[in-house]
Amino acid sequence: MSAIQIIPLNWYITLSAILFGMGVMGVLFRRNTIIILMCIELMLNAVNLLLVAFSAHHSNAQAQVFVFFIMAVAAAEVAVGLAILMMIYRNTKSTDVNFLNKLKW
Amino acid sequence: MNLTVTEILFGILSLMAIVSGISVIFSRNPVFSVLYLIITFFSIAGHYILLNAQFLAAVHIIVYAGAIMVLFLFVIMMLNLNKETEPTKPVWVQFAAVIAGGVLMITLIGSLKGAETITMAQPQNSEIGLVGNLGKVLFSDFLVPFELSSVLFLSAMVGAVLLGKKHTVQS
């Protein structure tokens, strides 16, 4: 007995929307680059959860493979993002995003 | 109102995910943010198990809690960011951020209003989340993307090493 047969799909969509909204809120709210990267991870996870819920609802395995690829891309993204963060810290001695306003008009 | 075990588990896991997600945003210390994010990831893995996606639950715990969050903790400890004195945005920017995120959230949830509540009635194939089935799909339908992701990993690795290296000025 799977959860998707008991719990309506709408609840999963609502939960994913809440998690995604919290990720957006965190990106806008914080100035620490590490926290911003973590909030991006939170958004990716909300989308993953939604994909798995739809996959279970349609009994379709391809969506789960897609989630697998999203996890791979997220791992690569975090590795490169943290390397960039190290460079930022080495040059500005801070992880504050407000120092990086050279491209701002 | 009779709640089944699945519904209770769904409620507990959702509550854990949401509360620790809020704590990620609002805790002052980055180390606590990482720890709360790990709790969020574990509750999402619980959701995967409830949805019969056992392979994804295992991979999720290994990749996120095992690899990505350790990477985050390493960076925080290497940069010695374990302090609570962090510059914050002005109050009006924080207020605007919360309003903007909340409006997006409410829009996404509000778009569900009037939609009928759908539950899967007919019995379904509960084997799709197992390793064997996913492996067959991955290595038949998604073989080219799988190979391309290996190229992506190689380039990400080269990029991370190149960015992390100390640059010495050649004269």
* Domain annotation covers residue B22: yes
Q: Say which DSSP state A5 is in.
A: G
Residue B121 has a pLDDT of 57
Which of B47, B131, B140 best probes binding to A when mutated, by most A CB atoms within 10 angstroms?
B47
Residue A56: name the closest of A105, A104, A12 by CA: A12
HSE (CB half, 13 Å, CA atoms) of A85? 25
* Domain annotation covers residue B18: yes
B108–A17 C-beta distance less than 8 A: yes
Counted domains in chain B: 1
* Domain annotation covers residue B60: yes
Q: Say which DSSP state B80 is in.
A: T
B53–A56 C-beta distance less than 8 A: yes
A82–B71 C-beta distance less than 8 A: yes
Mean pLDDT over B66-76 rounds to 90
A74–B68 C-beta distance less than 8 A: yes
pLDDT above 70: residue B22 = yes
C-alpha B50/C-alpha B56 separation (Å) is: 11
Q: What is the tens place of the pLDDT at every residue in A23-53?
A: 999 999 888 888 999 999 999 999 999 999 9
Mean pLDDT of all residues belonging to chain B: 86
Lookup: tokens for B55: 């392979």
Task: Give percent of chain B above pLDDT 70.
Answer: 88
Nearest chain B Cα distance for residue A51, angstroms: 10
Q: What is the tens place of the pLDDT at every residue in B73-99?
A: 988 888 877 666 666 778 888 889 889
* Domain annotation covers residue B54: yes
pLDDT above 90: residue A71 = yes
Residue with tokens 């390493």: B74
Residue B6 has a pLDDT of 86
Task: Give percent of chain A above pLDDT 90.
Answer: 50
A-chain CB neighbours of B117 within 8 Å are 8-10
* Domain annotation covers residue B65: yes
Nearest chain B Cα distance for residue A103, angstroms: 19
* Domain annotation covers residue B35: yes
Residue A48 has a pLDDT of 94
CA B104 to chain centre: 19
Mean pLDDT over A60-72 rounds to 91
Mean pLDDT over A61-86 rounds to 91
Nearest residue in A to B143, CA atom: A65
From the list B75, B98, B152, which residue is nearest A73 (CB)? B152
Q: Indicate the pLDDT class of residue B3, thresholds 50, 70 and 90.
A: confident
pLDDT above 70: residue B130 = yes
* Domain annotation covers residue B124: no
Structural domain boundaries, residue B12: 1-86
The identity of residue B170, as a single letter, is Q
The set of long-range contacts for A54-58, using a CB threshold of 8 Å and a minimum separation of 24, is: A54/A9, A55/B51, A55/B53, A55/B128, A56/A2, A56/A3, A56/A4, A56/B51, A56/B52, A56/B53, A56/B120, A56/B124, A56/B128, A56/B129, A57/A4, A57/A9, A57/B118, A57/B120
Which of B18, B38, B56, B126 best probes binding to A when mutated, by most A CB atoms within 10 angstroms?
B56
Give the CATH number, domain containing residue B74. 1.20.120.1200
Confirm if A26 and A39 have CB atoms less than 8 A apart.
yes
Which of B34, B44, B144 best probes binding to A when mutated, by most A CB atoms within 10 angstroms?
B44
C-alpha A19/C-alpha B138 separation (Å) is: 28
Residue B148 has a pLDDT of 94
* Domain annotation covers residue B155: no
B-chain CB neighbours of A74 within 8 Å are 63, 68
C-alpha A28/C-alpha B98 separation (Å) is: 8
pLDDT above 60: residue B119 = yes
B109–A14 C-beta distance less than 8 A: yes
> Which residue ranges form the domains of chain A, and what is each CATH number?
3-101 (1.10.287.3510)
Q: What is the tens place of the pLDDT at every residue in B142-151?
A: 999 999 999 9
A10–B115 C-beta distance less than 8 A: yes
C-alpha A47/C-alpha A17 separation (Å) is: 9
B50–A2 C-beta distance less than 8 A: yes
C-alpha A45/C-alpha A49 separation (Å) is: 6
